[in-house]
C-alpha cells in the first residue's frame, strides 16, 4: 500500500490488468511512446510491449470501431480517448455498435470494452478540452457510465470495468488527476459498478455529486459543518445504469438534497437524479431538491472558467436556501 494520486491509481490498475491477462490491450492516440497526453499510460509500453500498448492513427471512430472487433474476437480492449470533446467522432461506433452488439445478437457477440475518457473543466485548457457531457453517454441503453472521485476507488473501479463483460465508459476527472492522494493497494480488488457511496454521514441535508465536483462538494460539507449544519455526502459514482437506492435512503433520512454537477443544467443528469428521488421518496422531502450546475452555455475558456464551474460557495448558499425552506 502506498499513497497515490488518482492518476497513479489508474496507471497502476492498467499495469496490473496488462500483467494479469494477455487479452488486455491498451490503445489510443499517443498512449505508447509518450504515455498519453496525461501520462496515464506512462511506462506501460516499455513494460508490456508495443503490441499491447498501441499508438493508433489519429481517428477516434477508427479506434473504437477497431476495438469493437478486438472485443468480439475475445480480447479486452481498453481505449483511451484524449478528451471528452474529442470523443464525439466515435459516437456512431459507440451508440450504433458498441452499446448494441449484445442486444442485436442475443448475447452471441459481446463487447467487453473500456473507453477511458478524461473529462471536465478547471485546467484552463483550449476549447473542446473541458467538456462534461456524461449525460449523452448515460442516455444510451447498453452502456455503463462510471466516474471515480478518489484514487483508491478509481483503481478498483477500473479493474471492475476491465473485467466487466459489457462496455464501460470510464470517465476520469482531469482536475483531480493529481490534486488528491490517498492510500491505494498495490493490487486493488474490483469495486462495485452499480452502487453509490455515502462518504460522509450527516442528518440535515444530502449533497450528491460525482467525479471532479466531489472536491467542491466535500468542501461545502466542511463549511456547512462549521456553521452547525450536518451534511451527508453521496458520491454517485455510477451514472448509468443509475441506481439511486443509496441516495434515496440518504434523502429519506435528511429530507433535503442538493445535486451538484458541472455539466449544463438542462437535461443534465441532475434532472434524472431529481426525478428518481421524486419517484422513490417524494413524501420524505422537506423541501424541493435543488441543483448547482454549470450553465446552459458553452464552457468558457481559461479567463472566465470560474464563472461557469460551480464553486464551493454556490453549493453552500444553495444548501442554506434549501435548509431555510
Shortest Å distance, C-beta 136 to other proteins: 18
Q: Are 230 and 297 in contact (CB under 8 A)?
A: no
Cell of residue 28, nine digits? 489510443
Cα(246)–Cα(260) distance, integer angstroms: 16
Strands across the sheet with 231-235, in order?
A: 197-200, 231-235, 205-209, 257-264, 290-294
Q: Which cell numbers in the block locate residue 134?
A: 456524461
Shortest Cβ 193–other proteins spacing (Å): 9
Min dist. Cβ of residue 255 to other proteins (A): 24
Closest CB 301 distance from other proteins, rounded Å: 28
Burial (CB count within 10 angstroms: exposed 0-12, middle 13-18, buried 19+), residue 165: exposed
CA distance 294 to 299: 8
Active site residue 129: yes
Using alpha carbons only, give the angle 265, 271, 87 rounded to the nearest 5 degrees.
60
Establish if 141 lies at the interface with other proteins (CB under 8 A): yes
Query: Looking at beta carbons only, is 37 or 75 nearer to other proteins?
Result: 75
Q: Is 313 in the site for other proteins (CB under 8 A)?
A: no
Contact (Cβ atoms closer than 8 angstroms) between residue 216 and residue 315: yes
47 touches other proteins (CB under 8 A) = no
For the bound state, the minimum distance from the C-beta of residue 75 to other proteins, rounded and expressed in Å, comes to: 5
Single out the catalytic residue among 51, 107, 128, 129.
129
Among 13, 25, 146, 234, binds other proteins (CB under 8 A): 25
List binders of other proteins among 79-118 (CB under 8 A).
Answer: 89, 92-93, 96-97, 102-110
- Does 70 contact other proteins by CB under 8 A? yes
Which residues are within 8 A (CB) of 135 and not within 5 positions of it... i.e. 6 or more apart? 263, 267, 268, 269, 272
Site for other proteins contains 194 (CB under 8 A) = yes
Question: Among residues 30, 42, 163, 166, which is the contact residue for other proteins, using CB under 8 A?
Answer: 166
Total number of residues shown for the chain? 325
46 binds other proteins (CB under 8 A): no
Q: Residues in the site for other proteins, rule: CB under 8 A? A: 25, 51, 56-57, 59, 61-62, 64-75, 77, 89, 92-93, 96-97, 102-110, 141-142, 144, 164-166, 194, 241-243, 245
Q: Which residues are catalytic?
A: 129
Amino acid at each position: 500500500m502506498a499513497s497515490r494520486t488518482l492518476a497513479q491509481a489508474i496507471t497502476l490498475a492498467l499495469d496490473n490488468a496488462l500483467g494479469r491477462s494477455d487479452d488486455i490491450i491498451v490503445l489510443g492516440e499517443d498512449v505508447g511512446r509518450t504515455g498519453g497526453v496525461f501520462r496515464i499510460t506512462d511506462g506501460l509500453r516499455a513494460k508490456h510491449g508495443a503490441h499491447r500498448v498501441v499508438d493508433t492513427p489519429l481517428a477516434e471512430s477508427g479506434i473504437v470501431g477497431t476495438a469493437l472487433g478486438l472485443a468480439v474476437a475475445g480480447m479486452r480492449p481498453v481505449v483511451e480517448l484524449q478528451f471528452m470533446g474529442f470523443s464525439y467522432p466515435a459516437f456512431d461506433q459507440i451508440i450504433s455498435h458498441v452499446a448494441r452488439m449484445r442486444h442485436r445478437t442475443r448475447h452471441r457477440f459481446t463487447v467487453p470494452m473500456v473507453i477511458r475518457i478524461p473529462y471536465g473543466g478547471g485546467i484552463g485548457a483550449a476549447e473542446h478540452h473541458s467538456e462534461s457531457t456524461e449525460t449523452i453517454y448515460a442516455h444510451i441503453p447498453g452502456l455503463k457510465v462510471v466516474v471515480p472521485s478518489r484514487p483508491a476507488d478509481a483503481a478498483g473501479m477500473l479493474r471492475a470495468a476491465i473485467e466487466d463483460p459489457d462496455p464501460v465508459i470510464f470517465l476520469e476527472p482531469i482536475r483531480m488527476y493529481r490534486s488528491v492522494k490517498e492510500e491505494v493497494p498495490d493490487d486493488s480488488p474490483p469495486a462495485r459498478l452499480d452502487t453509490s457511496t455515502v462518504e460522509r454521514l450527516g442528518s440535515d441535508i444530502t449533497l450528491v455529486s460525482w467525479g471532479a465536483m466531489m472536491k467542491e462538494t466535500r468542501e461545502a460539507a466542511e463549511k456547512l459543518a462549521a456553521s452547525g449544519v450536518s451534511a451527508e455526502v453521496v458520491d454517485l459514482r455510477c451514472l448509468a445504469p443509475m441506481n439511486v437506492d443509496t441516495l434515496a435512503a440518504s434523502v429519506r433520512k435528511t429530507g433535503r438534497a442538493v445535486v451538484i454537477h458541472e455539466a449544463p443544467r438542462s437535461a443534465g443528469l441532475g434532472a434524472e437524479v431529481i426525478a428518481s428521488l421524486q419517484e422513490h421518496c417524494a413524501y420524505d422531502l422537506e423541501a424541493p431538491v435543488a441543483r448547482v450546475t454549470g450553465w446552459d452555455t458553452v464552457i468558457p475558456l481559461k479567463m472566465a472558467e470560474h464563472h461557469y464551474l460551480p464553486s464551493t460557495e454556490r453549493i453552500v448558499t444553495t444548501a442554506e436556501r434549501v435548509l431555510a425552506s
